[in-house]
């Protein structure tokens, strides 16, 4: 009996030690996980917001063409979109780019490419269900005198109007030329989501002065910053 009790107490002690070590490992690993998560979230997800940045056109679709330099709109759209992406990520907002490189979203076949390209953008937005969608474009018009940046929204969406105003205010304050008010637009990209969604037409490639500015890194940075600050103000974030 005594022997059994001794054996039992030995097993108990053994079990206690195993238990203790296991608990230590569990606690240590969970602390490790928590720290890893905290690190991850402080860098990538300081704010629980998702912004889809949509660089217009791409691939065989260049969009507008520069009046003097023949620059492709698709290239400037992507440059501005990438700067905006970095600014938002640095702040701690989740960003999804519909088009991360120079390629369009229509796949290999070019038949009906525009329709498939737009549907793919809509699919991405529907899947992500973001808080904000910003499509970046450069404008063009048959008359060469028109200049400035202009934000479009769908007038059935009050949140889109609010976002448009926040971005347009930055354009009006900080760019040499920009339209004073926001504009109502009947565009596919604005109608395909419940999110606050705007199209930022950042200047006219059909205007010589705008084109000269739009091809420079400094001006692309300035435009991206206007959109960025507009988003920050809309979401009431601290920079
Ligand atoms: Zn465009």
Q: What is the percent of the chain with per-residue pLDDT over 90, rounded to a whole number?
A: 69
Distance 58 CA to ligand 1 centre (A): 10
Instruction: Tokens for 35, please give them.
Output: 């720290």
Q: For 130-178, how does the pLDDT look when each residue is reduced to its tens digit (9 = 90+)?
A: 999 999 999 999 999 999 999 999 999 999 999 999 999 999 999 977 7
From the CA of 140, how far away is ligand 1's center (Å)? 8
Distance 74 CA to ligand 1 centre (A): 7
Query: How high is the pLDDT of residue 29?
Result: 44
Q: How far is the CA of 238 from the centre of ligand 1 (A)?
A: 31
For residue 25, the CA-to-ligand 1 centroid distance in Å is 56
C-alpha triplet 62, 65, 68: angle, nearest 5°: 150
Question: Residue 19: its pLDDT value, please?
Answer: 44
Residue 52 and residue 94 in contact, taking contact as beta carbons nearer than 8 Å = no
Ligand 1 center to 235 CA (angstroms) = 26
Backbone φ/ψ region at 30: left (φ over 0), alpha (ψ -120 to 50), beta: alpha
Please name the helix (run of DSSP H) or strand (run of DSSP E) that holds residue 202, with its range, or none: strand 196-204
Distance 56 CA to ligand 1 centre (A): 6
Average of per-residue pLDDT across 204-222:
97
25's CB contacts (< 8 A; 6+ apart) are: none
Which tokens belong to 44?
Answer: 């990538």
Given this model, what pLDDT does residue 22 score? 47
Cβ neighbour number for residue 53 with a 10 Å cutoff? 26
CA 87 to ligand 1 centroid distance, Å? 22
Q: Give residue 19 CA to ligand 1 midpoint distance, Å.
A: 64
CA–CA distance, 169 with 179 (Å, rounded to integer): 10
How many angstroms does the Cα of residue 29 sit away from the middle of ligand 1?
50
Other Cβ atoms closer than 10 A to 158: 10
Per-chain mean pLDDT for the chain: 85
pLDDT of residue 191: 87
Rounded to the nearest angstrom, the distance between the alpha carbon of 73 and the centre of ligand 1 is: 7
How many angstroms does the Cα of residue 232 sit away from the middle of ligand 1?
Answer: 24
How far does residue 184's CA lie from ligand 1's centre (Å)? 16
40 CA → ligand 1 middle, Å: 35
Assign 239 a pLDDT band (cuts: 50, 70, 90): confident
pLDDT of 72 > 90? The answer is yes
Q: How far does residue 32's CA lie from ligand 1's centre (Å)?
A: 47
According to DSSP, the residues that pair with 94 across neighbouring strands are 50
């Amino acid at each position: 009996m005594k022997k059994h009790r001794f054996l039992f107490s030995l097993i108990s002690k053994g079990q206690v030690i195993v238990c203790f070590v296991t608990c230590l490992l569990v606690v240590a690993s969970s602390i490790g996980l928590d720290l890893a998560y905290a690190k991850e979230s402080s860098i990538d997800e300081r704010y629980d917001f998702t912004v889809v940045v949509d660089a217009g056109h791409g691939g065989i679709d260049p969009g507008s063409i520069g009046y003097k330099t023949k620059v492709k709109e698709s290239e400037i759209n992507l440059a501005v979109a990438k700067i905006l992406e970095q600014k938002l990520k640095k702040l701690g907002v989740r960003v999804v780019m519909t088009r991360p490189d120079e390629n369009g979203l229509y796949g290999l076949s070019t038949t009906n490419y525009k329709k498939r390209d737009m549907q793919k953008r809509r699919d991405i937005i529907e899947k992500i269900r973001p808080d904000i969608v910003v499509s970046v474009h450069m404008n063009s018009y048959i008359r060469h005198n028109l200049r400035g940046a202009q934000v479009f929204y769908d007038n059935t969406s009050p949140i889109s109007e609010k976002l448009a105003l926040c971005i347009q205010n930055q354009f009006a304050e900080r760019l040499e030329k920009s339209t004073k008010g926001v504009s109502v637009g009947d565009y596919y990209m604005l109608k395909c989501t419940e999110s606050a969604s705007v199209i930022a037409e950042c200047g006219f490639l059909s205007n010589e002065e705008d084109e000269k500015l739009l091809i420079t890194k400094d001006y692309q940075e300035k435009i991206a910053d206007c959109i960025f600050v507009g988003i920050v103000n809309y979401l009431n974030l601290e920079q």
